[in-house]
Homo-oligomer: A and B are copies of this chain.
């Protein structure tokens, strides 16, 4: 018995250092604000390799020891959109920005001073709290609710 879903597979990574988070000011029209760098996993690609590749492309940094720290998901037609969440404080290289958006080190106590994407704080909570594994959007009464588990 096979049970297939249509799934879009992506990664995000929190690169952190000295109480600062490396955030991307995304400039896409449909979805903008300060958020974590990330992108799609290619067909057949290792998930760990994907996060290393995406961080290189979007930040210029070569990360090491990315740690899987949660999953984000939301429903799409006949399936779901999955985000593998990683974090690391190990990296080398020179910070650059990409066409996806400019990169900034933001102190964790100054997050309210920038325009974060809407769900940023709950996402970070799942990634930093060892008792949480999952950020799930569910559609309830035509509204999108966030459930953390």
Residue of B nearest to A134 (CB): B48
79-135 of chain A: CB within 8 A of chain B: 79-80, 84, 86, 130-131, 133-134
With A40-B3, A68-B71, A71-B68 already in contact, the answer to whether A133 and B8 are too (CB < 8 A) is no
Interchain CB contact under 8 A, B46 and A149: yes
Is the CB of A67 closer than 8 A to any CB of chain B?
Answer: yes
Quickly give the copy total for this chain.
2
With A3-B8, A5-B7, A79-B4 already in contact, the answer to whether A70 and B68 are too (CB < 8 A) is yes
Please report the total number of A residues contacting B with Cβ < 8 Å.
36
Main DSSP-derived SS at the A contact region? strand
Distance, CA A68 to CA B136, complexed state (A): 15
Which of A48, A75, A133 neighbours the largest number of chain B CB atoms within 10 Å of its CB?
A133
Is the CB of A145 closer than 8 A to any CB of chain B?
Answer: no
- CB-defined contacts of A138 to chain B, threshold 8 Å: 44
Picked from B3, B44, B133, the residue with its CB within 8 Å of the CB of A47 is B133
28 contacting pairs across A/B (C-beta < 8 A): A2-B8, A3-B8, A4-B6, A4-B79, A5-B9, A5-B43, A6-B7, A7-B9, A43-B79, A44-B80, A44-B138, A46-B134, A46-B136, A46-B147, A46-B149, A47-B71, A47-B73, A47-B133, A47-B134, A47-B136, A65-B131, A67-B130, A67-B133, A68-B69, A68-B70, A68-B71, A68-B133, A71-B84
